[in-house]
Amino acid sequence: MEIVVNVVKEKIRKKMLYITTILGILVVMLFSTDMGSLTIGGKNISDYYVLIPILINVVNFLAGAISLAMSITTIPNEYERRTSHLIWARGVGQGKYHISLAMGNVIVSWISGMILYLTLGVFAIANGYSNILGQIFVATLFMFIYTAIISVMTSALSIKLPAVVTGLIMIMLFVGGAFRSILLLVSAVLTGFGGTVVKRIIKLIPDLAGLSRQAGNLVQGKAVDAHVIIMGLVIIWIAGLGLIFFRRKEA
């Protein structure tokens, strides 16, 4: 537990966390006030109730980006600074150590995500939709899964790979996951062997877009697809196994 708390303490001192969170709040503000509106099919969409699924997408995406940025260097830094020496020397196993560090990353991601969702809630009240506060609160659970996927995967990869390589892989998976629906749409027109390969690759990308869509559905009182949630949890579990089984040769 000490390691988890220490990671959280260290991360909340990072300027990047505050800058990104403030940026997120500004984006939510922009969409939530008269300053911002969307035009879909020639119709101006400024009703908060209609905007909220889009806002959830945006907020989850920002929380995911914060999660990636916060998680990428945690484990490599521990080994580079040799903080790991004093942990290993105390008999803490690598699996437990890596899980603790990743848990710290996840908690930081959740904190920043919750701040963004809090902003959503505030603007829901400001726009006269205090009746959907409960749904927004429940929708944060989707954000928890969304950011945990990014955070645990990033942490696991960073055990074995250099930060730059982890970053590149995770940016591809993250952006691909956030726009998975579009990728699926585009790949639908692809045919032949190449098309099959592309479709298979897309299937391997975590369905982050799906999670945001389900959160939006929940807020709007539509049906929620449990399959997307279960798959998200499975991905966290698999990445969690990576935290246990990926090992450093030396502290």
Partner 1 sequence: MNCKEERERKTRKKLAEKDMITINNLTKVYKKNTVVDNLSLSIKKGEVFALLGANGAGKTTTIKMILGLAKVSGGDIKIAEGSRIGYSPETPYFPPYLTAMEVMSYYAGIGGDKSKKDKAYLKSLLDMTGLEDTKTKVKNYSKGMIQRLALAQALIEDPDILILDEPTAGLDALGRKHNLELLKKLKDEGKTIIINSHILHDIEAICDRGIIMKKGKIIDTWTNGVSHESLEDKFIRLVGAE
Footprint of partner 1 on this chain (CB under 8 A)?
1-3, 6, 9-10, 13, 81-92, 249-251
Q: Which is nearer to partner 1, 46 or 83 (CB)?
A: 83
Q: Which is nearer to partner 1, 108 or 170 (CB)?
A: 108
Q: Which is nearer to partner 1, 43 or 90 (CB)?
A: 90
| Cα 205 to Cα 61: distance, rounded to the nearest angstrom | 15
**Beta bridge partners of residue 43, listed in sequence order:** 40
CB of 82 to partner 1, least distance (A): 6
CB of 162 to partner 1, least distance (A): 18
**Residue 221, C-beta contacts closer than 8 angstroms, at least 6 positions apart:** 135
Q: What six digits make up the tokens of 111?
A: 């904190």
Q: Which is nearer to partner 1, 74 or 217 (CB)?
A: 74
CB of 241 to partner 1, least distance (A): 22
CB of 249 to partner 1, least distance (A): 6
